[in-house]
Amino acid sequence: MRCFVHLNTESIGICKNCQKGLCSDCFIDCGNGLACKRCEKHVRALNQFLDNNVHRKINTPFVITLMAGLFFIAFGASLWQSTMGFLPYGFIFLGGAFLFNSYRARPFRKK
């Protein structure tokens, strides 16, 4: 494959955005792929988007606490006529889940 700009030069890579061949004079290394000068901004944005989504983790303690809270609320609501013993536990678990999640999502938290 030949370089899209320099037709006499063999290409060493392909632009991640426009898929055009690039020689050593035309490419820009964006860390996770090559880009031509015209597509550099788009490739960097794409790499940032992929990094944000690939490294996102599920907040397991929040999900477990949320599920426990919903279970206790549903169970307490089903026993509403006989006793309200489980209903407050559901609200406690839900409150704990949201407090825990808001603590983890704080900006500027030290790692």
Q: Is the pLDDT of residue 85 over 70?
A: no
- The C-alpha atoms of residue 39 and residue 12 are separated, in whole angstroms, by 17
**C-alpha dihedral sign at 60, 63, 65, 71:** negative
CB 70 within 8 A of CB 94: yes
pLDDT digits (tens, 9 = 90+) for 99-110: 777 776 665 555
The answer to whether the pTM exceeds 0.85 is no
Q: What is residue 52's predicted lDDT score, i.e. its pLDDT?
A: 75
More confident site: 74 or 26? 26
pLDDT digits (tens, 9 = 90+) for 11-55: 999 999 999 999 989 899 988 889 999 999 999 998 888 877 766
More confident site: 84 or 78? 78
Looking at residue 82, the DSSP 8-state letter turns out to be: T
